[in-house]
Structure 1
Amino acid sequence: MTEQNATPGTPDDPAEESAGRSFEEVQSSERTMLRRALRSTLLLVGALVVLGGLVGWFVAGAAGVWGALVGAGLAAFFCATTIWSMLRTVGKSPTAMAAGVMGAWLAKIVVLLVVLVLLRGADFYDPYVLFVVLALGAVGSALLDYQAVRGARMPYVQP
């Protein structure tokens, strides 16, 4: 038999901790977790602007800086839109949440296509710097979202 590390009734036991929580308290925990994810994502984007701009300058000059700025802007829009749409639909029906997240996804695709069409013939930016900054933003945001969810202490089922 395996031995449990947490004793019932201690804060280390999430089932016991959430057993007496109301639906409003669970919603508050979800909102807090999503706000933490949004805040850390925006900090990541700020770091991408600064570091991507510096590296872009050394790699490709002014075009590298513009590539970093466009990549960081797209990363901010992509990552923050998902979190924002989930914040707007916390506590609503699963159908409303799915519609909100799907609508945000469609908006992201439209914005990406418009930006790519507008940038197609432009030479003021470095496409490689843009790609690297955008990729780092996407991966970094996913890791930060995971960290926020992992530390949220939310129940798996509704009490």
Structure 2
Amino acid sequence: MSFTPQPIPTPTAPLQAAVRYGAIALAVLSVASAVIAYLALGLPGLWGALIGAALGGAFILLTSVSVLFSARLSPTSLGAVLLGGWIAKMLVAVVVLGVLNGMTFYHRSTLGIVVLAALVIVLGAETYGVVRSRTPYVDSSDDSDGK
């Protein structure tokens, strides 16, 4: 009889699970919303759904990815990366929405609904990934005093 221990997860395992579940949820939402919008509204609905999924999903997923890749940085550097990433995401979102404002090839309501759905669904999937992941808890208190 042999014993094969389970590998110990890394400290970034919850973040990796969050990104994985978020990406899967975004893919499912993108396909489902594109099909539903195309069947209901035609090509403008399809474009609205695809742009909405890309905009909303990227906004949430990029936060998790930036936290994952900067997890080993100091708290100050991590804060700078997150703040800089948030400012960049806001600028990109404002520019994209500003460019799309005068165009008529997409359905505006579909874009708005899918952006909101992407924000909620991807964030929920990321939360599920973090809560579901198992990470070891180690108490580093000194037990040498006999208590």
TM-score by length of 1: 0.76
**Greater shift after overlay, 61-70 or 147-156?**
147-156
Question: Quick check: 1:43 aligned with 2:24?
Answer: yes
- Report the 3-state secondary structure (helix = DSSP H, G, I; strand = E; otherwise coil) of the residue aligned with 1:95: helix
Deviations 1:134-157 (A, max 9, x none): 111111122112212212344789
User: Which of 137, 140, 152 lines up with 2:121 in the alignment?
Assistant: 140
Question: Quick check: 1:112 aligned with 2:93?
Answer: yes
- Residue 91 of structure 1, CA deviation: 2.1
Match of 2:51 in 1: 70
Deviations 1:42-67 (A, max 9, x none): 11111122111111112211000000
CA distance in 2, matches of 1:125, 1:157: 52
CA distance in 2, matches of 1:110, 1:48: 24
In structure 2, list runs of 5 or more residues that go unmatched: 1-7, 141-147
User: Which of 100, 105, 109 lines up with 2:81 in the alignment?
Assistant: 100
The CA RMSD over aligned residues, in Å, is 2.0
One-letter code aligned to 2:40: V
User: Which of 64, 78, 91 lines up with 2:72 in the alignment?
Assistant: 91
Confirm or deny: 8 A CA contact 1:67 1:130 kept in the other structure. Answer: yes
Confirm or deny: 8 A CA contact 1:45 1:75 kept in the other structure. Answer: no
TM-score by length of 2: 0.81
Confirm or deny: 8 A CA contact 1:48 1:68 kept in the other structure. Answer: no
In structure 1, list runs of 5 or more residues that go unmatched: 1-24
Confirm or deny: 8 A CA contact 2:53 2:114 kept in the other structure. Answer: yes
CA distance in 2, matches of 1:92, 1:74: 28
May I ask how many residue pairs the two structures share in their alignment? 133
Percent identity of equivalent pairs:
32
Confirm or deny: 8 A CA contact 1:64 1:125 kept in the other structure. Answer: yes
Match of 1:150 in 2: 131
Match of 2:109 in 1: 128
CA distance in 1, matches of 2:77, 2:32: 38
